[in-house]
Amino acid sequence: MKKLVLILGLALSLFNLQAQQKYDVAAYLYPAYAAGDPRLRPFWPMGMGEWETVLTMQKRFPGHPWNRTPLWGYINEADPSVMEMEIDQATSHGVNVFIFDWYWLDGRPWMETTLTEGFLKARNRDKMQFYLMWANHNVGNDWDTRISGYQEGNIIYRGGVDREEFEKICKRNIELFFKQPNYYKIDGKPVFMIYEVNTFIEGIGGVNAARDALAWFRKEVKKAGFPDLELQFTMWDSQFNYSGVDEAKVKAGRPREDFIRGLGFNSMSHYQFCHFIWMDDDYQNILNRAYEEWDKLDAEFTLPYYPHVSIGWDNSPRFGDSAVVKENTPERFEEALRRAKAWVDGRPGLHPLITINSWNEWTETSYLQPDNVYGYGYLDAVRNVFVNN
């Protein structure tokens, strides 16, 4: 009886949250800012995750113009009390969905404690929905600031998996995550995003094997009691230029709709502007190209596209040198969000989902969290568009 009351209470809380906000504003969350996770220490031996890269930036590159610090401090996001603060801050500013970058490497989950120990154990977790983006890319030494500039190209973990491993992943995710009352769904269908579809295809054994595996995944989701699976495709500009995919399926550097639909995907969004726009430019020029891309995808595809806005790009903390977005002020970011909102409003049949990069990508300089440069400016921009209007 107590369990039933708890479930009904969580469901009511989610209903109230959805009733209060017309749009689902989903920010990607990079789970590397966690203390106490032994699997992160080979990259970041200080035991604070990739905060080490941020904290040691000026020591490694003295006088470098990148000199940012988090106003909340070098927090441990795998601590539920910390995540409770973040959930309160996110939802009060209009971010009501976290998309967790989720990793499975070397036959087991990797960098998962921010989700399982932090978010899922937060007492106010019912205020925030979440879903998974399977970050299935290869992992090299790029995260390890001690050697990244000297041994680039090494592969430590491979992101591809075979069919047996894929089935293990899917069954675990259905039970552990999809069945959570605050897992994000579209029309009752749990959303699952795949970051590198080409890596998935190569690991699973080819296009036909990938199609069969994803069809099996969909059946398993239905067997678990859901109406279906909402499989989300991460759109890149040139992800599919590799052997094994028919070149006729690629148009203007991206796969055609029949190829994406044939694999079993239901919708798409972007993860970062840098995947389809050169970022060493003024932010307004970048945004103009992004708006053009939204319209192109809308014209070329009947598959739903959910508009994406990235805050910026500067990967200097990892490498000391990077393409850098200029003049990406909170005011310009706010205008981009208004454009995304209007774009959704102009398509009444589209689910009102907008994705943002990101909640906390500090080492790529694309984050909503407050810092010493703009304070709460980016969070306030989200609130101005989605809460105060």
CATH label of the domain that carries residue 327: 3.20.20.80
Q: Identify the DSSP state of 300.
A: H
Instruction: Give the model confidence (pLDDT) of 157-195 as tens digits.
Output: 999 999 999 999 999 999 999 999 999 999 999 999 999
- The pLDDT of residue 187 is 97
Strands 353-357 and 24-29: parallel
For the ranges 1-10, 138-147, 268-277, 376-385, the lowest mean pLDDT is seen at 1-10
| Lowest mean per-residue pLDDT among 1-10, 71-80, 81-90, 204-213 | 1-10
| Residue 61 binned pLDDT confidence (cut-offs 50, 70, 90) | very high
With respect to residue 233, please indicate whether it lies within any of the assigned structural domains.
Answer: yes
Whether 147 has a pLDDT exceeding 80, the answer reads no
Q: Which of these, 20, 22, 51, 18, lies nearest to 34 by C-alpha position?
A: 51
Q: Determine which of 85-99, 251-265, 271-285, 313-327 has the lowest per-residue pLDDT on average.
A: 251-265
User: What is the model's pLDDT at position 221?
Assistant: 98
| pLDDT value at residue 153 | 67
9-18, 100-109, 249-258, 294-303: segment of lowest average pLDDT = 9-18
Q: Over 50: is that where the pLDDT of 325 sits? A: yes
For residue 1, pLDDT beyond 90:
no
Residue 6 lies in a domain: no
Residue 75 belongs to some domain of the structure: yes
pTM given for the model? 0.92
**CB–CB of 218/264 below 8 Å?**
yes
Which pLDDT score is estimated for 368? 99
At residue 4, the pLDDT reads 45
Kindly tell me the burial class for residue 377, based on how many C-beta atoms sit within 10 Å of its own C-beta (0-12, 13-18, 19 or more): middle
Tens-digit pLDDT profile for residues 6-33: 444 444 444 444 445 799 999 999 999 9
Q: Residue 248: what pLDDT?
A: 40
**Residue of 246 and 227 predicted with greater confidence:** 227
Asked, for residue 9, whether it belongs to a domain, the answer is no
pLDDT of residue 389: 77
* Residue 150 DSSP label: T
Q: Of 137-146, 189-198, 256-265, 361-370, which gets the smallest average pLDDT?
A: 137-146
321 domain-assigned: yes
Write the CA distances from 101 to 22, 55, 120, 193, 196, integer angstroms: 25, 22, 15, 9, 12
Rounded Cα distance, 297 and 304, in Å: 9
What pLDDT, on the 0 to 100 scale, is given for residue 84? Answer: 98
Q: Mean pLDDT across the stretch 241-250? A: 40
Quote the number of domains for the chain.
1
Which residue's entry shows tokens 């890319």? 137
Q: Is residue 4 part of a domain?
A: no
Which pLDDT score, from 0 to 100, does residue 253 have? 57
Asked if residue 59 is part of any domain, the answer here is yes
The whole-angstrom separation of Cα 52 and Cα 362 is 11
Alpha helices in 56-196 (DSSP H): 57-60, 80-92, 113, 163-173
pLDDT above 80 for 359: yes
Domain assignment of residue 313, given as a range = 23-386
DSSP conformational letter for 303: S
CA–CA separation, 253 vs 275, rounded Å?
11
Q: What integer pLDDT is reported at residue 145 of this predicted model?
A: 78
User: Does residue 342 lie in a domain region?
Assistant: yes
